[in-house]
Every structure is written in C-alpha cells, then in structure tokens.
Amino acid sequence: MRRYSVFALAREALRHHGGWTRAWRSPEPKTDYDVVIVGAGGHGLATAYYLAKNHNIRNVAVLEKGWLGGGNTGRNTTIIRSNYLQDESAAIYELSRTLYETLSQELNFNIMFSPRGVMMLCQTEHELRAMKRTAHATRLNGIHTELVGPERVKELCPIINIHGPRYPVLGGLWQPRGGTARHDAVAWGYARAASDLGVDIIEQCEVTGIDTTGGRVRSVSTTRGEIRAGKLCLVVAGHSGVLAEMAGFRLPIESVALQALVSEPIKPCLDIVVMANTVHGYISQSDKGELVIGGGADGFNNYTQRGSFHHVEETVRALVETFPMLSRLKMMRQWGGIVDMTGDRSPIIGRTPVEGIYVNCGWGTGGFKSIPGSGWATAGLLARGEDPIAGPFGLERFREGRMIDESVAAAVAH
C-alpha cells in the first residue's frame, strides 16, 4: 500500500496526479477461504482488518451485494459517544471511541474524527434522574462525562432555547470527548488497510444461499459462484434476519427504517452534537455547513431506504422548539437506513445454532459509533472462539433472560 502523505501529494501534483493507484484491490473470488464475512460496511470491514492485523488470519473474503459502504455505513448521522448505562455496553463503546481517536494515523487515511463533544439534553424531571444514574455509571467505568445545568448547556450551545414552551432544558449529560467522523472515510480507510493485508473485498457479490450440510457451514452460493467457508460471519445490519433464514435459524430482531436529513449549508453556528430525547431529535453541523438532523425510527417494520415527509415534519417541528433559528432553513436531502432492533436494544455478537456461523447484528441506532470496537471484538471471537468484550452479547442471553437493557441510554429512536 502506498502511504498517503503531504510529500506524496506534492509529488503527484508535479505529475498531474497520474500516479495514484486504487485504494483497494478488486480481486476475483477464490473458491475457498478460512473466513467469509458477508457485508462490506464498517463492521464487516473492521472485522476483516482486525482479523488480519491482530490475529494474522488473512485468507479472508468480505462479500458485498452492492458497493462498499453503501448500506447503513453511508446512511447515518456519524455520532460517536460511549455514555452508556450498562457495564458491557460501556466497555465496547468506549473501546470504539478510544480506537476512533487514533484511527486516522493507524489506517493512514483521514477519517475526519472531530471530538467536539456530545450533549444529551434533559428536558423532563424523569429524564434528569435517568441521566444522573448514567453519569454515575459512566464515571464508575472510567468514562469522562459530566451532568451540567441549563446555564452550562447554553454556554456550550449558544443557539439553544433553554426556556422551551413545552420542554425547557433542565440540564444535560455532556461527554467532551464524543464527537463525529466522516462515515464514508471510515469504510474506505478500513477497506484500504484490510486489502493491503491480503483480505479480498468482493463487491457486486450477493449471497443467494448458505450450505449447512451436517449442521455446520460448508459454503455460500453467490451471484459470482460458490465459495467454501471455514467460518462464516454475517454482518449485514437490517438484513441479518434474511441471511439467518437462509442458514436455517431465526434471530430476535426487527428491521425498521431510521430517517435523517440535512439542511442547506450555513455559516458555523453549532460546534457540538446535541441529542434531545424528549422532543425526539438530534443535530450537528457538518464541515460543509449543513445541519445534520436525525429523529426516531419508524414505528413499523420495513426495509425502505427513503425518507417520508410526515417523519421529517415531526422531527423538525420538535427541534424548532429547542432551536428556533432552524425555522427558516431549507431541507436539502433526506434518507433512511435499515436498522435491526433487539428487545434489549443491545447488539448480538456471537455464535449461532449452526456450527461455524457467527453473527454481528442488532446495533439499532448505535452502529456507526461502535464500528472499531465491534470489529475488534468480532475478530477476536472468530480467531479464538471467545472474546471478553463480545462475550456478554451472545445470542444465548435471550434464552437465559440475561438482558443488557439500553433502551434509555440508546437515546432517541427508541
């Protein structure tokens, strides 16, 4: 892999940029791999990268039915935080946040990580009590968060109206080292680094069947031929249930659309991320000046990737109460991503009833922020058969009644 640097940029400028090579290889699929990962989004690519880097397992294929990063990785609002309630969640999300801080240097690819801080507003008394509990829990887990009052919220976010007509701001849970990153760049960076370590990334390769003869995975049928797999890892977000059905088992997840939109670009006015659970919306400003706005998940199961005007109206109406200056902005575009929800709003990382098949799914609205930690833990599980970070999130917890309830700390959209 040719390293990117200021010197390489200057050299190519003198050559009229004719010497750049492809960021990652585009090989023909081989007939046999030690590990086949289905899904070339952030989680699948991170898993492949850490398999190669941490465990020296390089006979790996990442299969993608469309284009790399074309699913939820490119359809989110890029928020990174780790202020979760349960110990198991705090461990994996804080691992992710820590890895994000140095990911640009590690991958030699600028992911545009911006630790601008994340504020989760408290706009009712019961929400304030819940955030106090979360603040104590994060402190015990060594995660830096602060419960701040309305005056501090206004100081950090001058454009906010803390005296809202329905829901005045009573305080907020502030994580100074939370922030955002460029979603496409995360996928591209992991793809480039994984490819350089020998991983085959195969796009336009849809899985159409899974052979589980004798109770274990044998191969996958794809639109580009049959591929034998020593181990198979399904990392396809909202389509996890579809792939699981091909393999002969069911997953305790529901797939719904999560919608978002961006405004026209304006001058800098918001230099933190603000999440407002009570009025159901969250907002940040991109480097291009657009306000990136997200809301709740649809209230019914679906696989659509389009937005809907009634949902946009609901989200914007709620945010205008808290940010009156938004009222005259024009919406530029909207979209939806297909998220997979579990009953306890925590992910599934673990073995399945079919020997050799593993699954990484159920991230709901927390998928992007968890990419590095998820890949790290899933790679450990595939390589060693167990991983301390992934362990609590196994599929068996639903049978055992060992839930990891994050329905509150997961914030909006639940």
Residue 7 lies in a domain: no
Antiparallel, parallel or unpaired: β 146-148 and 79-80: unpaired
Residue-level pLDDT at 414: 41
Per-residue pLDDT at 314:
82
Residue 271 has pLDDT above 60, yes or no: yes
Range of the domain at 126: 118-179+255-342
Q: What is the pLDDT of residue 227?
A: 98
At 363-414, the pLDDT tens digits run 998 899 999 999 999 999 999 999 999 999 999 999 999 999 988 665 554 4
Instruction: Say what percent of the chain tops pLDDT 90.
Output: 79
| pLDDT surpassing 90 at residue 278 | no
Least confident of 62-76, 98-112, 308-322: 308-322
Judgement on whether residues 29 and 57 belong to the same structural domain of the protein? yes
pLDDT in tens, 47-69: 999 999 999 999 999 999 999 99
Q: Which two tokens stand for residue 412?
A: 């909006």
Q: What is the pLDDT of residues 72-94, one digit of tens each?
A: 998 999 999 999 999 999 999 99
159 and 199 assigned to the same domain: no
318 and 331 share a domain?
A: yes
CATH number, domain containing residue 366: 3.50.50.60
What does the angle CA 126 – CA 132 – CA 136 come to, to the nearest 5 degrees? 150
Amino acid 67 reads W
Confidence (pLDDT) at 410: 58
**What is d(CA 348, CA 253) in angstroms, rounded to the nearest whole number?**
9
User: Does some domain include residue 13?
Assistant: no
46 and 102: one domain? yes
Asked whether residue 279 falls in the same domain as residue 224, the answer is no
Position 388 in a domain: yes
Q: Is residue 161 part of a domain?
A: yes
Residue 302's Cβ-count burial label (10 Å; 0-12, 13-18, 19+) is: middle
On whether both 146 and 30 belong to a single domain, the answer is: no
Q: Are residues 198 and 304 in the same domain?
A: no
Query: Averaged over 186-200, what is the pLDDT?
Result: 97
| 105 in the same domain as 186 | yes
Question: Looking at the structure, do residues 73 and 186 belong to the same domain, yes or no?
Answer: yes
Pair (104, 187) in one structural domain: yes
d(CA 311, CA 314): 5
Looking at the structure, tell me whether residues 77 and 146 fall in a common domain: no
Give the three-class secondary structure for 377: helix
Residue 224 lies in a domain: yes
The total number of structural domains that make up the chain: 2
**What pTM was computed for the model?**
0.95
Residue 16 lies in a domain: no
Q: What is the DSSP letter of 355?
A: B
34 with 88, same domain: the answer is yes
Distance CA 28, CA 98 (A): 35
